Amino acid sequence: MNHSFTWQGRHDGDGEEHRRIHHVVNTRQHASFALIGFGSDEGVKRNKGRLGAADAPDMIRAQLANLPVHQSVSIVDIGTVVCEQGQLEKAQAELADQVERSLQQGMKPIVLGGGHEVAFGSFSGLFQYIQHHEPQQKIGIINFDAHFDLREAEQVTSGTPFLNAAKLSEQNQKEFHYLCIGVAKHSNTKALFDTADRLNCQYIYDQQLQLSEIDHLISKINGFIEKIDALYITVDLDVFNASIAPGVSAPAVKGIDLSVFDPLFQAIKKSGKMRVFDVAECNPRFDLDNRTAKLAAYIIFNYIFD
């Protein structure tokens, strides 16, 4: 684990009304939320994407640091799992162990990616925890993403995490429950749609994500959640339009808008079933004015605070 990041930022006064996130991180031994970085773009490299996402965790932390604290909260920063010498599978296993350990300690893990290969590590951590402690519970994945990430490949990549999750579930005789929100038809081959249909995945197209359809969309999402006990939520930042998320491996021509994302995310949060959450594909190398890192921090802020 890498622990090089220093939490610091603006200080306007000593009262609680002046507190920012950098003031509260690592101030309590037992926290409600655990931040875990995943410094990897090896999966993106294997998937022939744009490199740079390995640097994302600390850039997201830097944007989080100065955000205000409006209610009592406890956060611990566990550090960053770093993928070294291309050993992605080892890094994913280490992340899974950190996620499971955080859950065992009663914390909600928030994983800062990193390429979307982070997803298999995050999912595996929740899967391990459920297997060891609550084996009767059903896990569901909700992925905000322009891509299914159900690609067949000889090794794990940023394009394979949910097929990897499906195979892990099958190996343990568990049902696979997957909802992908924001799927772009122009970004997925027919083979990927066929795989999604074969695995009984649910999906919502990007063009369906309209503000006028919010009630219908929330109803569909709630229908998925009702059958699930524990949720893993992952937000691939390339689901958003490139104007607000330029710093990703595959910028979106269309993408979705925050005015639609926010109420959907809050509806999922309201279920009380979110156990593991991550953001993925933030790529500082291609970011503009830290827009994508700021977007990641904004989403995390809205997860932590009511």
**Which residues are part of a known binding site for Mn(2+)?**
116, 145, 147, 149, 236, 238
Distance CA 79, CA 128 (A): 20
CA angle 95, 191, 252 (to 5 degrees): 65
What ranges make up the beta strands (E) of the chain?
A: 33-39, 75-82, 108-113, 139-144, 177-183, 202-205, 230-236, 274-280
Tokens of 158: 């940023």
Distance CA 45, CA 52 (A): 10
Closest CA to 276 of 155, 154, 104, 160: 104
Known binding site: residues? Answer: 116, 145, 147, 149, 236, 238
User: What length does the chain have?
Assistant: 306
Distance CA 65, CA 56 (A): 14
